[in-house]
Chains A and B, each alone.
Chain A
Amino acid sequence: MPDAILQSQSLGRTYRSAGRDLTVLKDISFRVEPGEFLAILGPSGSGKTTLLGLLAGLDRPTTGTVHLDGQDLSRLDEDQRARVRSEKVGFVFQAFQLIPTLTAQENVQVPLELQGEPKARAVARELLARVGLVGREHHYPAQLSGGEQQRVAVARGFSSRPKLLFADEPTGNLDAATGATIIDLMVGLNRDLGTTMVLVTHDLDLAGRARRTIRLADGSIVGDTAA
């Protein structure tokens, strides 16, 4: 089945720590089809963020492979993986990870600028309007509330029209109501733009919004259910 957008094969990650090998992930294999909304659910320390990092090519696996849109990430060097990320991947993090020295609009523009998009400014404006931040374009992250910052992050995640969006506990730093609006926003964008979404969370309710859930415990997959 060559048309999987994301495929992980026997993925494993071991860290050396204090002279001992610490296996965080072992033998993770699954496929994600285009347009899917997948939640990876697991308690703290189950290896969720590590898995997300490997899937997005932010880190290298100890064993196994990741294919992203048909490309074997383990065969690419860091710069080639960066290009893949730039073209195909968007991110939303728990701690927002906005660049503090850039305004809201500049933050959204970054992925477009990195691709050399000439209309970066207009696209960023449009996206900010879509996440409800008209009039806040020129504010710096520190001048925005947590919910507003995460909206900027969502706008940024979608700005380059990625095929795949990774979200790492996107509501973790927000109150329930604000978190819900952020998820609504992401679900809406997933539907409208056809973006594949991979959501990592420990929140059952949040995972319930996804159409498919992979449960992770102690570094292994313990369940894979479609809603």
Chain B
Amino acid sequence: MARRELQAAPRRRLLLTGTIAVGVAALVAINSFTRNLEESVSRQARSLLGADLSIAGRQSFSPRVEALLDSLPRNSVTARITSFSAMAYVPRTAGTRLVQVAAVVGRFPFYGEIRTRPLRAWAQLQEGHNIIVDPALLTALAAQLGDTIALGEARFVITGTIESAPSDVGFRFAFGPRVYLPARYLEETRLLGFGARVQYEAFVKLPAGTSAQSVAERYRRLLAPERLRVRTVAEDQRNLNDVLTRLTGYLGLVALIALLLGGVGVASAAVVLVRQRMETIAVLRCLGATGAEVLAVYLIEAVGMATAGSLIGALLGIAVQQALPQVLHGFLPVDVVPSFSAGAAALGIGTGMWIGFIFAAIPIFRVRLIPPLAALRRPYESERGGRDLWLVLPFLALAGSTVALAQVQVGSWRRGAVFAGAIGLALIILWGFSWALVRLVRRWLPERWAYVWRQGLANLYRPANQTVTLVLSIGFGAFLLGTLYLVQHNLLRQLRLTGGPARPNLVLFDIQPDQLGAVLEQLEASGLPRTAVTPIVPMRIASVKGRPVSQLLADRSRAESEPSNAWAFRREYRSTYRDSIVGSERIVQGRWWEKGGQSSGQISVEQDLARELGLKLGDEIVWDVQGVSVPSRVVSIREVDWARFEPNFFVVFSPGTLEDAPRSYVTLTRIDNAAKRGSFQRSLAERFPNVSTLDLSLLQETLERLVDRVSLAIRFMALFSLLVGALVLIGALATSRFQRIREGALLRTMGATRRQILQIVLAEYLSLGVLAALVATLLAVLAAWAVAHFLFDSAYELPVLALLGLAALVVTLTVLVGFANSRDVVRRAPLEVLREQ
């Protein structure tokens, strides 16, 4: 029975199958592209750490730790780096400099690369007493390749300079120029004696498919008593992580929206199908079929078409995904490798079938209500029928599915429910407005208006009108697209804020108070911009809330809580003081001190640090500033955007507290040309040997590439969903096509001109489009605000012009498709159409 039904009316079915196919194609393409992109972005991110995870501590690893390292998942690879500060001395030039030594065992890095000049220097590092140095060190020591460097009691030959190396996002002022040497000669230096501040770090590359996060969780517990810190790319690169989370969240949302758009298309195609089959169904019922049997016939048909559509869509999606990187090759600074993702395909087919089925079921459930009498007499009211509790079923299923899908895509049940609720609310509001429009036009349609306008507008409330269907589908589509656009706009805006060409790329630090004037003069003489000069005072925590650090640490090790806390208590803080807040900071608790007020002894603490130290507003901390006790009170807690290339601080003091403490200064400048950057660094080093410079340009380039990728992906996805939206709109409007052609032919027969017919169409679709676009835009503004505020935690800005443009686009598209629908009326001879009846 269902099979025979399937064989009739191929054109309508093509629409239905096609719409599912497009939706599924979008889902599969977006999901696989997202996976590819995530992989490529996380590859990029891993190359910043150089490994999947690292385990670091202040003592050399105990036998227990070594045993634990041996128990890492099979096929894991490890490398070790021991790092510490030491004085480097070049006998030939007699230059000395504090450097950061990294002693390497193993083939580090596993991701990304250390580029050296000459190229082979890194590969040959382990072959002898070789050392590879930061080019800034050569400048500072007036040394050259081949010179001998003394580190402690060992001698090394400079065999190369570092071009780029994995490094941390953000920078630490404590670092001097880096040098790399083979770890087996570490003993010879005799620098690792008692009291040396050494960091022992093991870098681990896990076998493919192992989650660094879950390994890290497991080992973090085991290594806690050993006071070791376990870092993964995801958690260590906090800023990168933020960007990534937002990107994945956003792409998940896009895929879901594409699928729902596809669902709307399916629903409208199913409406056409049912409307076309009214008589067939009525005849079937006349012949004795029960409502349930008729329902079964069409549900089986819907399942068949949803399956076909999903399979076609999956193939299409894979094709699109494979073609994407090729198509975008010129744009992508990326190596997104299109790998077939069976998971994404299966998910796409599964959800496509389910969504197609559910959406089709909504109109199809009504076939039960078609009375046998309809075979004899067409019902004059649209097939609304009575209230039917059974109709609640597909809607409940739809609501449940939306929550479940949102959970899969966005990753939390609560968010899934909120998402589905928001969609439901949007639909109800759209329905309400279309209902109001129908009422309004029916009550208030001026007699004086030209016939074509009255006729077009009256079509909005006439029997079998499509006002609600169209406002719902067009409005819903426009709402989703508008939301997407707004979220995209705000995400991109935030990325631009983080990046941007005006960022400083050279840090000048360790400037002594008596050198400050001269250094600033040299910057000015070279015509270079600079950021505000920031004072830096090194200090340690002496006591928190009246309890000395030693006592706090003893408590903590007994409780075996996280060892990273211990570091927070023990570390050296490089704090600053100022009277105002800077752009990368935001107060989350308490208040900033008043400018010029009596505020000495107040501090503002970064929120994560406050959490680690267990600090609340009003808590007392006593600092040890090079032997002097400085008491302070927490008056505010700040959120800090560490991704900004500005000197940021865990602890900021109010003015009037640290002015007499020993301090150094830091400032940042920007020099675009690499050669000029080098010569400036050299000339600075000649005049002020103790002033260190740190070149951030490589790090920035890496980040910029990343931001570029993310922006491009976001734009591309928005474009893709716009395409799906347009297709769905065409599908939705096709619901009325057949009826329109007949009406148009009749009007033509009675002497209506082409112009008159087009005006009628214009009046109807213009009012539908304007209503749908307006309501949808308002809803999108609200929804995007909510998404930005609650989901992405980002600032919100309204691009009014672009938004109006989108609304105009929706209206234009609606009217154009309306015209296209009536194309046959105008083109074909009226007789031809009338004869088809």
A114→B754 CA distance, assembly (Å): 12
- B462 and A102 within 8 A (CB): yes
**B746 neighbours in A (Cβ, 8 Å):** 97, 99
B748 touches A82 (CB 8 A): yes
In the complex, the chain A residue whose C-beta lies closest to that of B827 is: A78
- Chain B residues with CB below 8 A from A160, complex form: 751
A93 touches B834 (CB 8 A): yes
A89 to B754, CA, bound (A): 17
Residue A110 contacts which of B747, B832, B834 (CB distance < 8 angstroms)? B747
**In contact, B831 and A53 (Cβ under 8 angstroms):** yes
In the complex, which residues of chain A have a beta carbon less than 8 angstroms from the beta carbon of B443?
A: none
Min distance, Cβ B153 to any Cβ of chain A, angstroms: 99
Known: A101-B462, A143-B380. A49 touches B751 (CB 8 A): no
> Given that A114-B451, A116-B451, A142-B380 are known contacts, is A100 also in contact with B751, CB under 8 Å in the complex?
no
The answer for the CA separation of A21 and B752 in the assembled complex, in Å, is 32
Q: Which residues of B contact A100 (CB under 8 A)?
A: 378, 380, 463-464
Distance in angstroms from B761 CB to nearest chain A CB is 14
Residue A111 lies at the interface, judged by CB distance under 8 Å to chain B: yes
Per the 8 Å Cβ criterion, residues 60-104 of A in contact with B are: 60, 78-79, 82-87, 89, 91, 93, 95, 97, 99-102
Q: In the assembly, what is the distance between CA of A84 and CA of B754, in Å?
A: 13
Does B262 have its Cβ within 8 Å of any Cβ on chain A?
A: no
Q: Is A183 an interface residue (CB 8 A)?
A: no
Q: Which chain B residue has the least Cβ–Cβ distance from A140?
A: B380
Residues of A in contact, count (CB < 8 Å) = 35
Q: CB within 8 A of B834: which of A82, A97, A115, A140? A: A97
Flag if B750 contacts A91 (CB, 8 Å): yes
Is the CB of A113 closer than 8 A to any CB of chain B?
A: yes
Contacts of A93 in B (CB 8 A): 834
Q: Of A59, A89, A99, A142, which one neighbours B751 at CB under 8 angstroms?
A: A89
Known: A102-B462, A142-B377. A111 touches B750 (CB 8 A): yes
Which of these, A60, A86, A140, A141, contacts B829 with CB under 8 Å?
A60
B749/A91 in contact, CB under 8 A = yes
Report the minimum CB–CB distance from B165 to chain A (whole Å).
74
CB contact between A113 and one of B451, B743, B830 (< 8 Å): that residue: B451
Q: Hey, which chain A residues are within 8 Å of B451, CB to CB?
A: 113-114, 116
Q: Is B690 in contact with chain A by the CB < 8 A criterion?
A: no
Assess whether A58 is interfacial by the CB under 8 Å rule: yes
Task: Please determine whether A95 and B832 come into contact, CB atoms closer than 8 angstroms.
Answer: no
* With known contacts A59-B832, A97-B834, A101-B743, A114–B751 Cβ distance under 8 A: yes
In angstroms, Cα B752 to Cα A89, docked, is 12
Contact B834 A142 (CB under 8 A): no
Q: Are B465 and A114 in contact, CB atoms less than 8 angstroms apart?
A: no
Least distance between B749 CB and chain A CB atoms (Å) = 6
Bound Cα distance from A110 to B454, whole angstroms: 11
For B374, the closest partner residue in chain A by CB is A142
Contact: A58 with B377, CB < 8 Å? Answer: no
User: Which A residues are in CB contact (< 8 Å) with B62?
Assistant: none
B455 at the interface (CB under 8 A from A): yes
Q: Which of A145-188 contact B (CB under 8 A)?
A: 156, 160
Q: Is A82's CB under 8 angstroms from B829's CB?
A: no
Known: A100-B378, A142-B377, A142-B379. A85 touches B754 (CB 8 A): no
Encode B744-764 as 1/0 by CB contact (under 8 A) with A. 001111111111100000000
Q: Is B835 an interface residue (CB 8 A)?
A: yes
Is B837 located at the chain interface by the 8 A CB criterion?
yes
In the complex, how many angstroms separate the beta carbon of B457 from the nearest chain A beta carbon?
Answer: 13
What residues of B have a CB within 8 angstroms of the CB of A91 in the complex? 749-750
> Which B residues touch A102, using CB under 8 A?
462
Provide the A102-146 mask, 1 if CB < 8 A to any CB of B, else 0.
Answer: 100000001101111000000000000000000000001111000
Nearest B residue (CB) for A159: B750
Which chain A residue shows the least CB distance to B832? Answer: A59
Residue among A79, A95, A101, A141 making CB contact with B755, cutoff 8 Å:
A79
Q: Does B648 contact A (CB under 8 A)?
A: no
The answer to whether B750 and A86 have CB atoms under 8 Å apart is yes
Report the Cα distance A49→B829, complex, angstroms: 14
B751 near A86 (CB under 8 angstroms)?
yes
Please report the C-alpha to C-alpha distance between residue A53 and residue B751 in the assembled complex, in whole angstroms. 13
Q: Tell me the minimal C-beta distance from B751 to chain A in angstroms.
A: 2
Q: Is the CB of B465 within 8 A of A101?
A: yes
Bound Cα distance from A108 to B747, whole angstroms: 12
A82 contacts B753, C-beta separation under 8 Å: yes
Instruction: Write the nearest CB–CB distance from A210 to chain B, whole angstroms.
Output: 22
Report chain B residues within 8 Å CB of A53: 829, 831
* 8 Å CB interface, B799-837 against A: 826, 829-832, 834-835, 837
Query: Are A59 and B837 interface neighbours, CB within 8 A?
Result: no
Instruction: Give complex CA distance A86, B755 in Å.
Output: 14
Determine the distance from Cα of A116 to Cα of B453 in the docked complex, in whole angstroms: 12
Tell me the bound Cα distance from A101 to B379 in angstroms.
11
Q: Which partner residue on chain B sits nearest A53 by CB separation? A: B831
Complex Cα distance, B464 from A56, in Å, reads: 31
B831 touches which of A59, A113, A142 (Cβ 8 Å): A59
Q: Which of A101, A115, A116 contacts B464 (CB 8 A)?
A: A101
Contacts of A59 in B (CB 8 A): 829-832
* Contact yes or no, B463 A85, CB < 8 A: no
- Which B residues fall within an 8 A CB radius of A? 377-380, 451, 455, 459, 462-465, 739, 743, 746-756, 826, 829-832, 834-835, 837
18 cross-chain CB contacts under 8 A: A58-B830, A59-B829, A79-B754, A79-B755, A85-B749, A86-B750, A97-B834, A97-B837, A99-B747, A100-B464, A101-B739, A101-B743, A110-B750, A114-B747, A114-B750, A114-B752, A140-B380, A142-B380
Q: Which 5 A-B pairs have the closest CB atoms?
A: A86-B751, A142-B380, A53-B831, A113-B451, A58-B831
